[in-house]
Amino acid sequence: MSIRPPPKQQDAPAPHNPAWQAQLFSAKAVGRGGIVRRKKRDVHREVGYDALLAEVKSRGFHLIECGNQYVIICNAGQMRVHC
């Protein structure tokens, strides 16, 4: 199972809101190894998919796309999807 990145808009500048991204990864759930989720629309508007993916990877976390949400599992352990 692979996650396809959203289509890129031609000539659209990459969004950059480090405060929004810092707030996301400073949530208590992140520190406890929990789960955080954000609407895809908000991610694309505030930081962009590529920046989110890079940050998730740098932390060893997992990123799941489900419906209109990105779900970040803040745990570097092996992941298994059961259904």
pLDDT tens for each residue of 6-25: 655 545 667 889 999 999 99
Q: pTM (2 decimals)?
A: 0.81
- Residues of the chain with pLDDT > 70: what percent? 84
- Mean pLDDT in the chain? 89
Q: For residue 45, tell me if it sits in a domain.
A: yes
Give the model's pLDDT for residue 16. 85
Cα separation of the two ends of the chain: 12
Q: For residue 11, tell me if it sits in a domain.
A: no
CA pair distance 37, 69, nearest whole angstrom: 6
How far out from the chain centre does Cα 35 lie?
Answer: 11
Q: For residue 61, tell me if it sits in a domain.
A: yes
Q: Which two tokens stand for residue 57?
A: 């990877």
Give the residue numbers spanning the domain of 65.
Answer: 18-73
Give the model's pLDDT for residue 21. 95
Domain count, the chain: 1
pLDDT digits (tens, 9 = 90+) for 35-53: 999 999 999 999 999 999 9
Q: For residue 6, tell me if it sits in a domain.
A: no
CA pair distance 35, 16, nearest whole angstrom: 23
